[in-house]
Amino acid sequence: MGAGISILGIFVADTAYLAPRMPAVGETITGSGFSVGPGGKGSNQAVAAARAGAQVSFISKIGRDTFGDLALKTYSEAGVTPRLVIMDDQPTGAAFIYVNDSTGDNAIIVYAGAAGTIGIDDVEAARQTIEQSAVFVTQLEQPAAAAYRALDIARRAGVVTIFNPAPAEAFPDEIYGLCDYIIPNETEAAALVGFPLNTLEDAKRAGDLLLSRGVGAAVITLGARGVLFHSAAASVHVPAVTVGPVIDTTGAGDAFVGGFASALGRRMDPLGAVRFGCATAGIAVTRRGTAPAMPTLAEIEAVIV
C-alpha cells in the first residue's frame, strides 16, 4: 500500500452566476456577478486533499479546449498529479451554477463532456495508480460502472476506499460492500434510504441501514449541522466548524471529502479525520468559489482545537 491518494472523478469548468433569485422559465433577469473557475466533485476533492497536504493523483478525461487548459493549470497550481486522457472529439465538462447573492444557496446543472465517457477500460488503464495509493476516492458524476470497477480494484489491493454517492444517481448494490467509508450528504442519504433525515435520530437510522448494506462506516454530512460518523463501533455527531460569515457553500461537501481523505492518508483515526474534514469545509464556506476556496494544511491546523 502506498502513501498517496488517488481520486477518480470529473473536472468541469464552473461558470457561476450571482443573482438575487433564479429566473423562471422564459424569463431573463440581471445578475450581480460572474466567474469561471475549476469545478467537478472529484476534481474539487483532489484540489482540497492536495492543499490539505496530501500527495494526490486525479484520474479523469478532459477535452482539448480552453476549459481543458483550465484543468491542467489548476492541477499544476494545486500540486495534483494529473492522470488525464485528453480527448479530441469531446468537450471538457462544464457546469452552470446559480448562486443566490444574499443567502449563498446554489442550484447547478452539470454536463460531464469527455468525463462522461469514462469507462471500465479507462479505469483499467489507471489500475496501477489506484493500487499504489493509500486511499482511493470516487463519486457518481462519471458512469457508475467506472466507479464500481475502480472501488473493486482498490479494495482488492487493500487500499482504503471512500465513496461519495453524489449526485444521487442509481448505482449497483454491490458497491456498498466495497466501501470502507460512504460519504453522502443529507439529500443523498435520504435518496439512498428512502426517508428524510430531519433529526439526528433519522440520520442514525440511515447510518444503520447503510451499515446493513455492507459499508464499513457511514459518514453523513448535514450541512451547518456538521457530520454524523456512524460505524458498528461508534455513532458520533461532530459539529460543523465556524470560522466566519458563510459566503458560498458550493463545494462544502468536496472540501469535507478531500480533507477527510487527506487525513486518513496520513493515518489519522477516522474521527480525527472527520474533525479535519469539518475544519477544511468550515474554512471553504467562508470563501467564494470551490477549488480556489480550499484551505492549506496550515490554515486547517490553525482552526483545529
Known catalytic residues are 254
CB atoms within 10 A of CB 266: 16
Q: What minimum distance in Å lies between the beta carbon of 249 and Na ion?
A: 7
- What's the Cα-to-Cα distance from 185 to each of 220, 225, 304, rounded to whole Å? 6, 11, 22
Residues near Na ion, by CB under 5 A: 248, 284, 287, 293
Q: Is 161 a residue that touches ligand ADP (CB under 6 A)?
A: no
Residue whose CB is less far from Na ion, 93 or 295? 295
66 lies in the binding site for ligand ADP (CB under 6 A): no
The entry of ligand ADP, Na ion, none near residue 237 (CB within 5 to 8 angstroms by kind) is none
Q: At a CB cut-off of 8 Å and minimum separation 6, what does 90 contact?
A: 61, 63, 113, 114, 116, 117
Is residue 115 close enough to count as binding ligand ADP by CB under 6 A? no
Which residues, 6 or more positions from 225, have their beta carbon under 8 angstroms from its beta carbon?
239, 240
Q: Which of 240, 261, 264, 300 binds ligand ADP (CB under 6 A)?
A: 240
Q: Which partner, Na ion, ligand ADP, none, binds residue 246 by CB below 5 to 8 Å per kind?
A: ligand ADP
Task: Tell the smallest beta-carbon distance from residue 273 to ligand ADP (Å).
Answer: 12
Does 276 engage in binding with ligand ADP (CB under 6 A)?
no
In the bound complex, what is the minimum distance in angstroms from residue 153's beta carbon to ligand ADP?
25
**Alpha carbon distance 200, 104 (integer Å):** 25
Q: Candidates 13-21, 105-113, 130-138, 281-289 — which segment interacts with ligand ADP by CB under 6 A?
A: 281-289
Question: What gap in Å lies between CA 231 and CA 211, rounded to an integer?
Answer: 7
Binding site for ligand ADP (CB under 6 A): 185, 221-224, 226-227, 240, 242, 246, 249, 252-253, 256, 278, 281-282, 285
